[in-house]
Structure 1
C-alpha cells in the first residue's frame, strides 16, 4: 500500500503482493479479458442491431469517448495513489470514506455477479466445441465448476502465471473473433442472399430509415464496455505501478472500441433480422452467424472463442475481485483475514478462494435451483448499472482530488474539469434512463445491492471499527482534516 498510515496501530498488516511482476501489455490484456469481448458480443449482437436499426457502429464509437475520458480519470487517480483498492481508496480519500466503502462494495458485487453471468455461457460453449447438443444442467454445472477451480488455482499460484494464461487465451480468442468479423464484412458486401446490405443508415446513430433509438443503443453499449477498469486492480503488481496501469486502461478501452465496432458491424448483417433475433433467443447468435459464414468449422471456432472468452473472464473475475476485497480488508472495512497474502505465491490467497468459491457456488445454484433463476436474472441485468455508478464516482473523485488544477489553465479546465464532468453526466443520464425503463424487479435488485452495502458499511464502522472512516480528505498538494 502507498499510504504511510498503513503502518499505524490497529491497521491490517501491510500487503506483500509481488511488485513489478507483469508488464503494461499483460495488464492491458487483463483489462480486456475482464470485458470478455467474444462473450459480450454474443450477448449484445442482436439487441444492439435491433435497438439502433443497424446504426450500432456509430453508437459504439461514440460511447467509447466518455469511456476513454473515464479511463483517463482512473489514470490520474492512479498517479496519485497506486493501490489495488482503486476507486474504494480514491473516492474514500477524496470525497468521503463512507461513499468510498459503498463504491468498493459496488465494485465487488459487479465483478462477482458479472463473472457468474459469463460463466453461465461456458457449458453450452464447451459442449458446442465438442459437437454435443446436450442441455444437461449437470453437464453445465460440471464444466463450470471444473473451469472455476482451475482458474482459482491459477489465481492463487501467482499473478505471473495468470498474466501468461490470459495472454495465451486472448491471442486465440481475438484472432478468431476479428478474423470472422472481417469475413462477415466481406460476406455482407458480397450481397449474399439473406443478408442485410450495407447502407447509409449504418453510419447514423438512428439507423436505417431513422427507425433506431440512439438512447436504447447507448444503454446497451455502456454495458458492452464494462470491465476495462480491471487494469487498475492489479496495479501493485505492474511494472511502474503509478504510470502503466492507467495507460493500460486507456489502451484497453481504445482496443475494445475497435474490436466491438468491427465485430458488431461485421456480424449484424450476416443473417436476416428475424433469424438473428431467433438465434439470440436461443443463446446461439454468434455461433449461428459463424455457421452462415463458414459452415460447421467456423461455428466450432466461434464456440471455442466464446469458451475462451468466458474462461478468461472467469480468471480475471477471481483475480480482480480478490484484489478489491484484499484492498478493502487491508483497511479493516472487511474482516482482516481477507487481507492475508500467501508468503509462497505473493497473492491474496484467502480472498481469492472466497471470491472464486462464491462464483462457482452461485453458478451451480443458478443451474440447479430453477426457483432462483428469475431473481438472479434481475440482478445480472443490472450489473452494467453498477459499473456505471462506480465509473461516475471515480470521475468525480479525480475531479475533486485535482480540483485546484481546474482553474489553473484552459487545458486543465478541459481535461480535469469539463470532460470528466461531461462523461460522468452522460453515464448518469444512461443510468437514470435505464432505471426508468427497467421493470420493478430490476429496480428492487439495484436497491437490494445498495442496501446490503449500507448494512456492511455500518458493520465496518460500528463492529470492525475501521480507522478508514476517520481518514483525512486529500487533494493535490494538500491533506485536510476530516470534519
Structure 2
C-alpha cells in the first residue's frame, strides 16, 4: 500500500442515506457545478458592483477571487477521496474539528444556499419580465417586475417549479442542466465575440490592457477585499459536484475532478466576458458604462441591445433567465443534501433524513428548503429594496466562513501525512492552508468593513450596515439553533454519531 494512504476507520461511521447510486458521471457533475455557479446570472449581478469597487482592475479581481477557490477545491477533492459523504463540509469539518465546528460549517453552507436561492429566484423573475417586455414590445410588461404584488408571487412560482424538478430526481436534473448550461455558454460566447468586434464603435470603449488583470492596482485594501468578496460569490456553487458524491460513479474521485473542471471553465468564461464588456462599455458612470450605478445590479439588461442588436439582444435575456432558473434548481441539491446528512447524523431533526422511495431524493429537506427560501425572500423584499445587493455581499461573508473551515479541515485531518511526501505536503497541506488563510483574511476584513452603513447598498439597521446585520445575524441564528439541537440531540454533540478522527498512516509492506 502507499505510504500515507488512509485506512477505512475514517469512514466507518459514515452512513448511506438511501440516495440513488452510480447516476452522475464526470460530465454530468461538471454540468451541475457550472449550472449552480450560474455564470450568466453571476456576471450580470456583479460586473457593475465589482467595477464600482475595483474600476479597470475588475478582470484582475475576478482572477484574484479564483485563486482561493482553486486552492479550496483541492481540499474538497482530497477529503472526498477518503470520505465521499453528501454532507461534505459539515461531515468533513466534524470529523476534523469536532461536532460544534462541523455543525456551524454545515449551517454556513445551508444559509449561503438559502441566500443564493432567494437571489436566483428574484433575478429569474426580473429577467422573465424583461424577456416578456422585449418580446411584446411593451414597457408596461417589463415594469410588472417593479410591482411587488406581481413580483413576489412570480418569484414564489419559480421556486415551486425548481422544487418540483429537484424533488423528481437527479437524472431529470442532469438532463435539464445539460441543455440550459449549453445554452447560456453559447450565448455568452456570442456576446464576447460581438462586444470585442464592435468595441471601437461604442462610446466609452477602451483598448485592452494587460494591467486590467493585475488586482493589486486597486486604490485601497478595502476596495480590494470588497471586490474579492464579490468575486468569491460568483464562483460559489462548484462544490455542488461534491454534494452528489454518493450518487456519482466513482464517488471517491469523479466529484473532485468535476469540481476542478467546473471552476476552470468558469474562470475562463468570466475573464473573457469581463474583458469584452470592459472593452465595449468602459467603466464610466453614465450610459452603458459598467460603473453606472443605475445599471450596476443588471449590466446585461443595459448591454444586450447595444452589443447584440435588438434581434439577438433578447438571447442575452434568455441566457440570464435560464441561468438563474437552472441554478435555482441545482442549488436545491447542496442545501437539501446537507440537511439530509445533518439529519442522518442527528445534528438536525430526523424528519429531514427522509428519502423519497421512488425518486431517491431528500424529499422533505428539499420542500423545507423551498419554504425557507420563499419566506426569506418575501420578508427581505418587503423590508428592503436593496435586498439583492446586500445579500450578495453577505453571501460572500458566509462563503468565506464555511469554505475556510473546510480548507483548514483538510490540513488538520491529514496533518500526520504531510511530512511523508512533497505531494502530500503541497496538495493536502500548503494549498488548502493558503486558501483557508486567504478566505479567513477576506472574512475578517469584510466583517470590519460591513459594520459601516456605506458598505453595500448603503442601508443600515440601528446605525449598523445591513450587510453586517444579514451575514452575522444568520451565523448567530445558527449558533442559537445549535444550542437548541445540543439539548435535543446530545448524541451528535458528544461525538457518538460522527466521530472526530484522523486517518492513520499505513507503511508499505
TM-score normalised by L of structure 1: 0.90
Aligned to 1:305: 319
Query: In structure 2, how many angstroms separate the alpha carbons of the residues matched to 1:52 and 1:349?
Result: 43
Aligned to 2:183: 172
Deviation for aligned residue 1:384: 1.2
Gaps of 5+ in 2: 1-9, 134-140, 453-463
SS at match of 1:121: helix
Aligned to 1:443: 468
1:458 correspondence with 2:458: no
Deviation for aligned residue 1:210: 11
User: Alignment partner for residue 242 of structure 1, among 242, 245, 252?
Assistant: 252
- Contact 1:46–1:280 under 8 Å retained in 2: no
Deviates more, 1:119-128 or 1:198-207: 198-207
Kindly report which structure 2 residues correspond to 1:215-230, keeping only aligned pairs within 5 A, or say none: 215-230=225-240
CA RMSD of superposed structures (Å): 2.5
Deviation for aligned residue 1:149: 1.4
SS at match of 2:239: helix
- Contact 2:131–2:318 under 8 Å retained in 1: yes
Query: In structure 1, how many angstroms separate the alpha carbons of the residues matched to 2:228 and 2:296?
Result: 24
Query: In structure 2, how many angstroms separate the alpha carbons of the residues matched to 1:316 and 1:80?
Result: 25
User: Alignment partner for residue 204 of structure 1, among 190, 214, 226?
Assistant: 214
Q: 1:282 to 1:98 in 2, by over 3 A?
A: closer
Q: 1:376 to 1:220 in 2, by over 3 A?
A: closer
Q: 1:365 to 1:208 in 2, by over 3 A?
A: closer
Query: In structure 1, how many angstroms separate the alpha carbons of the residues matched to 2:479 and 2:121?
Result: 28
Deviation for aligned residue 1:378: 4.3
User: Alignment partner for residue 192 of structure 2, among 181, 184, 189?
Assistant: 181
Deviation for aligned residue 1:60: 2.0
Aligned to 2:459: none
Q: 1:206 to 1:99 in 2, by over 3 A?
A: closer
Kindly report which structure 2 residues correspond to 1:292-441, keeping only aligned pairs within 5 A, or say none: 292-367=306-381, 369=382, 371=383, 378-438=390-450, 439=452, 440-441=464-465
Aligned to 1:29: 31
Q: 1:6 to 1:138 in 2, by over 3 A?
A: same
1:102 correspondence with 2:104: yes
Query: In structure 2, how many angstroms separate the alpha carbons of the residues matched to 1:393 and 1:83?
Result: 17
Query: In structure 2, how many angstroms separate the alpha carbons of the residues matched to 1:64 and 1:6?
Result: 31
Query: In structure 2, how many angstroms separate the alpha carbons of the residues matched to 1:265 and 1:229?
Result: 26
Total equivalences in the alignment: 469
Query: In structure 2, how many angstroms separate the alpha carbons of the residues matched to 1:445 and 1:193?
Result: 38
User: Alignment partner for residue 144 of structure 1, among 155, 160, 163?
Assistant: 155
Query: In structure 2, how many angstroms separate the alpha carbons of the residues matched to 1:435 and 1:212?
Result: 11
Deviation for aligned residue 1:255: 1.0
- Residues 237-264 of structure 1: per-residue CA shift (max 9 Å, x gap): 1111111111111111111111111111
Deviation for aligned residue 1:365: 3.7
Aligned to 2:48: 46
1:289 correspondence with 2:299: no
- Residues 108-137 of structure 1: per-residue CA shift (max 9 Å, x gap): 011011110121112220111112322322
Kindly report which structure 2 residues correspond to 1:46-65, keeping only aligned pairs within 5 A, or say none: 46-65=48-67
- Contact 1:460–1:466 under 8 Å retained in 2: no
Query: In structure 2, how many angstroms separate the alpha carbons of the residues matched to 1:210 and 1:222?
Result: 18
Deviates more, 1:203-212 or 1:46-55: 203-212
Deviation for aligned residue 1:279: 6.4
Aligned to 1:10: none
Query: In structure 2, how many angstroms separate the alpha carbons of the residues matched to 1:93 and 1:412?
Result: 19
Query: In structure 2, how many angstroms separate the alpha carbons of the residues matched to 1:327 and 1:100?
Result: 12
Aligned to 2:281: 271
Q: 1:206 to 1:468 in 2, by over 3 A?
A: closer
Q: 1:463 to 1:128 in 2, by over 3 A?
A: same
Deviation for aligned residue 1:76: 0.5
SS at match of 2:198: helix
Gaps of 5+ in 1: 8-13
Deviation for aligned residue 1:469: 3.4
Query: In structure 1, how many angstroms separate the alpha carbons of the residues matched to 2:111 and 2:220?
Result: 38
